[in-house]
Structure 1
């Protein structure tokens, strides 16, 4: 499994995890923003009118209303990335990462409008009378590149598991266990039954659920975030100043945070922003294709609102909670993850400014320090070998090596800074101590710093429950439309059974490999979609101009 993971990581490093992929996504959004003359600004007000139902007509062809399509698409994009992804971006890139998330969302609004317009324009009606659409249909019907459409559809099916099903329930079940001691399989079983009942009803039932769930979860999270930001009101202006100042200068060391360069803030901010709102991936276009309207561009206008809601509002709320609370630069007692640990050769003291600077430069990749290689000696849980343990990009404090519940004594092997933690006498070697946090644990700590105090920590598990479960619902629809495209509607029930079964099994199994696999499949969805919309840029511009001219004439 480790070899498979390494192989997938290598593939991902050349596509989805590479700098050129980020620049391609951002560049596509920038191109269409200029080419279509800033539609995210010009048409924003009109988009709100469309989604409100002002232009609806009962004879329009489709399965869902504009609002239901938006809610379904948002349920697929608003997920763990809005909570854990933002915390990870700030942990890696500092406050400036939030700025680049904002930029990626602003440009992504145009990309989303373009891909949805084309997907809606070339949608089809299945043999059972339902609408089926998405990038694979314009690739087949307009570009006449069925092979490209097949690649996109296969990647969509894989992503429905890698993004929408397996890691989402794993996050939910672990959050419920950590907060309320609910067994993993119990959470998995209950939600699997609920998921099955929802998705078996198709897009009509999915839309009815999401149109109620999305507004509720958005308001719930908004009020929870506001309770922290307003409680720390004196930090709002300093946080905003720091955010914009760090864009050009990078993030300086602060507390346990050892700093981040400009390049890393850009990469992490754009990467997390695009991962959150999925602009360019083409997934949400599948949901929007089912909307009732005869004007494809009008549904593109609705989609334009998605990155704004998902990233500019919800992700920025999470970011401001982290910055105003100050938790992003503080250390907390936690169980160390092996992937986040690195052992430096020699002893470095955080209290020494020169040594702290040297370790900070190492973490930022500016000037690397030698890594420890060989054997280390641990006595009664304490590291006695001269070396410095770094965890989560910070100096680890109060480090304890444990064997089950007992303090560990013995030797451990270190290879290129990575400590091997074997299982001895049925007990794994684990490491505990104080360090920075990231992802969902960091967000959980931040929500304790508001009007609700310690009770604020429960906002995160409930938000994860709603966000992640709604993502699983939406992605089940994306997957079944891809199955319909490739093999027909008769195989959709088989896909649904496998989807729900995988959902249950992932509630109590490790899905680390799935996250890596997901990154690869997302890239395989995105690349064909970006190629397609760029090839059809003239058609998009003509469609938008004709639609807007018609709207102006009807006024």
Structure 2
């Protein structure tokens, strides 16, 4: 068994090493140049669209679709993942998370645009879309689409969707409130079943309430801590940028991390957190009520901005300015200690509540992703059996030893990205054409309205 685990570790390290990271970031750079920096030029427009009403064919509003995608992406990675990246790569890892997010915004725009363009209506009358559909209908490659869907179910069952989140919730409730594991498992299973059996509308409705609340709650708490230490903020930002390009950190007790470690950990954890390029968010995006694939692509692009540029940055700056990154703690304990050092009474509860909500909504989002992948491979009749298996896995997740399963999940997660990135590169011409066509139409409409106003 040890040899098997060792082999899996080697595969995992290779997969999430330079090849996949170069492909992930490289695709973002490629799309950024082809779209002429759309994430800069159209960011304010995208944020404006976020709160505008959109009518069109679909199951849920554009905002609800974004919330469903954010439910899966704003997860434990924003608290635990950031701490892990900075612990291993030093403060400079945060800078490389920003780089991954910047180019990832172009990737997220492209994949969500394609999701709307190539989506279909299933036999239950629900919208289905995502990489499996644009790989098959756009690239014309059905076996690659099936590979993506198979890996997607694997991640939903054994990776991000179940065990990792269940364990996070169980451990944090046990530590903070001494809640028995079996009680947490029963309550969590019942709540997940009640929400997920209702389908995308039930999941989206729940996400619409929880996601804005949890994001605002965590961000406001973080802003308070940053304001209480505002004098340390300039030095913290300088340290982040310096550490991104130097092999030694600028503080005492920490021996420093190489630039390569900062890059690897920052990019890997950034991608893991915002999921740009993994192909997950386009599955939720496909359910949006919209008549414009470009408009929905812009709305979806804001997800990466919110997840990494805002939420992850808040966590990272607090870890660095409090000095906890250079201590002996790791993961959630490190983040808890950082919040507690500034807000002794409520700090630990902020992290605890954040982790619970982040992990719970990730379960909901990935339940839906796995459902759509199941429907693509096996048809609508397989959806109910899929949901039952998912609920059973939630129930048993808290009691499993997960060392090998977590490694397997990480591998499947990485493999899921490869077919999607191939499709994004192959269909980049479609993304550019749709984008140009949309903005030419918008400009033409503005000119016609201006001319009409002059004539009147």
TM-score after normalising by structure 1: 0.79
Shift of 1:253: 6.4
- Quick check: 1:71–1:214 contact (8 Å CA) kept in 2? yes
Q: CA–CA distance in 2 between the matches of 1:275 and 1:19? A: 15
- The aligned counterpart of 1:108 is 104
For 1:441-452, list aligned pairs within 5 A.
441-450=333-342, 452=343
The one of 268, 273, 277 aligned to 2:270: 273
- The aligned counterpart of 1:256 is 253
Shift of 1:551: 1.6
Q: CA–CA distance in 2 between the matches of 1:281 and 1:157? A: 13
How many residues of Structure 1 are paired with residues of Structure 2 in the alignment? Answer: 445
Larger relative contact order (CA 8 Å, sep ≥ 6): 2
- Which aligned runs of 4 or more in structure 1 are off by greater than 3 angstroms? 1-4, 253-256
For 1:163-174, list aligned pairs within 5 A.
163-174=160-171
Spell out, residue by residue over 1:178-234, the C-alpha distance to the aligned partner (whole angstroms, 9 max, x if none): 111101121111011000100101001111000110010011111221232222222
- The aligned counterpart of 1:25 is 24
1:41 is aligned to 2:40 = yes
- Unaligned runs of 5+ residues in structure 1 are 331-435
Shift of 1:476: 0.2
Q: CA–CA distance in 1 between the matches of 2:126 and 2:173? A: 37
- Quick check: 1:69–1:290 contact (8 Å CA) kept in 2? yes
- Quick check: 1:277–1:306 contact (8 Å CA) kept in 2? yes
Q: CA–CA distance in 2 between the matches of 1:310 and 1:218? A: 9
RMSD of Structure 2 on Structure 1 (CA): 1.2
- The aligned counterpart of 1:12 is 12
Spell out, residue by residue over 1:295-344, the C-alpha distance to the aligned partner (whole angstroms, 9 max, x if none): 111111111101100000000000011111111123xxxxxxxxxxxxxx
Shift of 1:75: 0.6
1:469 is aligned to 2:360 = yes
- Alpha carbons of structure 1 residues 183 and 256: separation in structure 2 relative to 1, 3 Å: farther
Q: CA–CA distance in 2 between the matches of 1:538 and 1:523? A: 25
- Quick check: 1:286–1:478 contact (8 Å CA) kept in 2? yes
The one of 247, 254, 260 aligned to 2:244: 247
- Quick check: 1:116–1:284 contact (8 Å CA) kept in 2? yes
- The aligned counterpart of 2:449 is none
The one of 191, 202, 205 aligned to 2:202: 205
Shift of 1:137: 0.4
- The aligned counterpart of 1:188 is 185
- Quick check: 1:132–1:481 contact (8 Å CA) kept in 2? yes
Give the 3-state SS of the residue equivalent to 1:128 in structure 2. Answer: coil
TM-score after normalising by structure 2: 0.95
- The aligned counterpart of 1:397 is none
- The aligned counterpart of 1:427 is none
Spell out, residue by residue over 1:342-368, the C-alpha distance to the aligned partner (whole angstroms, 9 max, x if none): xxxxxxxxxxxxxxxxxxxxxxxxxxx
- Quick check: 2:243–2:250 contact (8 Å CA) kept in 1? no
Instruction: Tell me whether 138-147 or 93-102 shows the greater mean CA deviation.
Output: 138-147
- The aligned counterpart of 2:373 is 482
Q: CA–CA distance in 2 between the matches of 1:527 and 1:114? A: 15
Q: CA–CA distance in 2 between the matches of 1:116 and 1:149? A: 16
Spell out, residue by residue over 1:223-268, the C-alpha distance to the aligned partner (whole angstroms, 9 max, x if none): 2212322222221111111111122223336343221111111111
1:505 is aligned to 2:396 = yes
- The aligned counterpart of 2:113 is 117
- The aligned counterpart of 2:122 is 126
Give the 3-state SS of the residue equivalent to 1:508 in structure 2. Answer: coil
Greater share of residues in strand: 1
- Quick check: 2:319–2:338 contact (8 Å CA) kept in 1? yes
Spell out, residue by residue over 1:463-522, the C-alpha distance to the aligned partner (whole angstroms, 9 max, x if none): 110000000000000000000000011111111111011011112322222321121111
- The aligned counterpart of 1:160 is 156
1:61 is aligned to 2:57 = yes
- Unaligned runs of 5+ residues in structure 2 are 447-456
Shift of 1:95: 0.7
Greater share of residues in helix: 2
